[in-house]
Amino acid sequence: MLVVSCPSEVRRVVLSERRSGATIGVVPTMGALHTGHVSLIDAARRECDFVVVTVFVNPTQFGPGEDYEQYPRTLEDDLGSCEAAGADLVFTPERSAMYLPQAQTIVRVSELTTVLEGAHRPTHFEGVTTIVAKLFNITLPNRAYFGQKDYQQQLVIRRMVRDLQWDSEIVTCPIVREADGLAMSSRNRYLSPDARARALALHRALDHAAALAEQGQRVPAMIESAMHRIISEAEQVDLHYAVVLDCETLQKPSEGAESAVALIAATVGGTRLLDNRILQFR
Ligand code: AMP
């Protein structure tokens, strides 16, 4: 496994792989890898000839007062996980290699980024799309792998790739959960045992939403209020949103839709957590 921090060296390697006919699979991450990340590397390994994992804690997707400085950095362990999962190359750029002095260019997706996480974190998604655009230009993916865990993010990336007419396929992989249902996240390590127990309310609320949809409940507001009730029963879970929206547009679902997505964001013990679930209507 190659570990490379220089962008031009990465591009040289992937170009030579591409020229010899290999398909390139790319898994962008901020490191602190867990089984959820590894599931993306596994999918890339199954579907591509040459697998690149990028590890970069991207400063521009953190807002003022967010956890950029504290974000866990565990590169040695991450390299071990990448190697065990069969990655061919890990790209570990320095901040100065990804953000050139006096850069004036950002990549911004408009409408989709105004709701949910975008409403709460106004500059977050332009940080994400700008860095992912750069990472794609360096790693030249045939396929790039993202988690459903960050539901809005994978939609925003899909929209960017479509709108910019890039020839990369975006693959969205299912949410990997702990045995008790908590969605895995690098930020779960911030949770005290007590906060971690309270955080299970998110999963409970989504489970209930899915059950209601299966029982024939089709009215988003009814499902949303059931989720609100479950979250409010858990103590000290500060709910930001619990909504049922169209899977593609993140607007109100149209009447007669066969599916929708339930999305929750809440702060528990000072840590902001996200979870979501696709609802199939009967
Ligand atoms: P991050 O390192 O948090 O930026 O995440 C890197 C990628 O891993 C993103 O595409 C995430 O959606 C994905 N990811 C994070 N947590 C999970 C999870 N529990 N299951 C599946 N994918 C995940």
Question: What does the pLDDT look like over 127-178, one tens digit per residue?
Answer: 999 999 999 999 999 999 999 999 999 999 999 999 999 999 999 999 999 9
Which ligand 1 atom sits nearest the alpha carbon of residue 177?
Answer: 19
| Ligand 1 and 58: CB distance under 6 A | no
C-alpha 82 – ligand 1 centre gap (Å): 14
191, 268 contact by CB (below 8 A)? yes
Q: What is the pLDDT of residues 76-128, one digit of tens each?
A: 999 999 999 999 999 999 999 999 999 999 999 999 999 999 999 999 999 99
Structure tokens at 279: 């609802």
C-alpha 37 – ligand 1 centre gap (Å): 5
- pLDDT given at position 206: 98
Query: Concatenated DSSP letters for 47-88?
Result: H-SEEEEEE---GGGSPTTSSTTTS---HHHHHHHHHHTT-S
Which ligand 1 atom sits nearest the alpha carbon of residue 33?
Answer: 2
Structure tokens at 144: 């790039």
Non-local CB neighbours of 226 within 8 Å, separated by 6+ positions: 205, 208, 209, 212
Structure tokens at 229: 């009730």
| Ligand 1 and 127: CB distance under 6 A | no
pTM of the model: 0.98
Q: Which region holds residue 91: left if phi is over 0, alpha if psi is between -120 and 50, else beta?
A: beta
